[in-house]
Amino acid sequence: MKIKKMTDVNLSEKKVLIRTDLNVPIKNGKIMSDARILAALPTIQIAIKNNAKVMIMSHLGRPEEGIYTKKYSLLPIFNYLKKIFINTNIFFSNNYLNGVDIKAGEVFLLENVRFNKGELNNDYELSKKYSNLCDIFVMDAFGSAHRMQASTYGVGKLSKISCAGPLLISEITYLKQAIKNPQRPMVTVIGGSKVSTKFNVLNKLSKISDTVIVGGGIANTFLAINNKIGKSLHEKKFILAAKKIYEKYNIVLPIDSRVGKNFCNTETAVVKLISCIKEDDEIMDFGDKTIKNSINILRKAKTILWNGPVGVFEFKNFSIGTEMIAKTIASSNAFSIAGGGDTLSVIDMFHIKKNISYISTGGGAFLEFIEGKKLPAIQMLEDHFENTL
Active-site annotation, residues = 36, 194, 341, 364
Sort strands 270-273 and 256-260 into parallel, antiparallel or unpaired.
antiparallel
Return the closest-CA partner of residue 306 out of 373, 358, 371: 358
47: left (phi over 0), alpha (psi -120 to 50) or beta: alpha
User: 367 φ, ψ to 5°?
Assistant: -70, -45
Taking phi first (over 0 means left), then psi (-120 to 50 degrees means alpha), and beta for anything else, what does residue 366 get? alpha
CA dihedral 269, 274, 280, 284 (to 10 degrees): 40
DSSP per-residue letters across 329-345: HHH-SSEEEE-SHHHHH
Which 8-state DSSP code applies to residue 5?
A: B
Using a 10 angstrom Cβ sphere, with 0-12 exposed, 13-18 middle and 19 or more buried, the burial of residue 97 is: middle
Amino acid at 242: A
Evaluated on CA atoms 354, 357, 362, 363, the torsion sign reads negative
Sequence-separated (6 or more) residues with CB below 8 Å from residue 362: 142, 143, 145, 146, 171, 339, 340, 369
Q: What is the DSSP letter of 147?
A: -
CB 20 within 8 A of CB 168: no
Answer whether 77's CB lies under 8 Å from 32's CB.
no
Burial of residue 261, with CB atoms counted within 10 A of its CB: 0-12 exposed, 13-18 middle, 19 or more buried:
middle
